[in-house]
C-alpha cells in the first residue's frame, strides 16, 4: 500500500499515512481553500487501508487550528476510521489550548472510537 505523504503549508496540514511503519498523523493548520478536495485523498487512502488494516492503529491528530469547513472533513475522516478494528485516536493539543481540547472532546462524542487526549 502506498504511503500518503502531504507536506504541510501555511493553510494545509501535514499528513502522513504509512501502514508499513504504523504512522498515521494529521498535524498543523487546516484551512485549505477547498477542504473536500484536499481531504479526498485521505478518505480514499483510509477506505483502502480499512480493507487490510493493521491489528491496531493509533491515528494522531496534532492540529493547531482548523476552520469550519475542515471540521466537517475531520469528522468525515473520523467516521471513515470508525469501521476499522483496533483503532485509537490520539488527540494532541497545546496544554493552554482549551478550544482544541474541546474540539477533540466533541469529536470523540460523535464517533465510536476510543480517544486519548495528550498535551504537548
| Count of structural domains within the chain | 1
Mind spelling out the 3-state secondary structure of the chain? CCCEEECCCCCCCEEEEECCCCEEEEEEEECCCCHHHHHHHHHHHHHHHHCCCCCCEEEEEEEEEECHHHHHHHHHHHHHHCCCCCEEEEEEECCCCHHHHHHHHHHHHHCCCCEEEEEC
Q: How confident is the model at residue 113 (pLDDT cuts 50, 70, 90)?
A: very high
Q: What is the mean pLDDT of residues 13-23?
A: 98
pLDDT of res. 65: 97
For helices 68-81 and 98-110, angle between their N-to-C axes, nearest 10 degrees: 40
pLDDT tens digits for 39-62? 999 999 999 999 999 999 999 999
pLDDT of res. 18: 98
Domain that holds residue 78: 4-119
For the domain that residue 44 is a member of, what is the CATH number? 3.30.750
Amino acid at each position: 500500500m502506498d504511503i500518503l505523504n502531504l507536506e504541510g503549508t501555511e493553510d494545509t496540514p501535514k499528513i502522513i499515512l504509512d501502514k508499513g511503519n504504523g504512522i498515521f498523523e494529521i498535524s498543523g493548520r487546516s484551512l485549505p481553500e477547498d477542504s473536500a478536495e484536499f481531504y479526498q485523498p485521505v478518505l480514499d487512502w483510509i477506505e483502502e487501508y480499512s480493507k487490510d488494516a493493521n491489528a491496531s492503529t493509533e491515528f494522531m491528530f496534532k492540529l493547531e487550528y482548523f476552520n469550519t469547513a475542515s471540521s466537517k472533513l475531520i469528522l468525515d475522516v473520523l467516521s471513515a476510521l470508525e469501521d476499522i478494528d483496533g483503532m485509537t485516536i490520539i488527540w494532541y493539543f497545546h496544554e493552554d489550548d482549551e478550544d482544541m481540547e474541546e474540539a477533540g472532546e466533541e469529536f470523540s462524542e460523535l464517533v465510536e472510537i476510543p480517544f486519548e487526549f495528550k498535551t504537548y
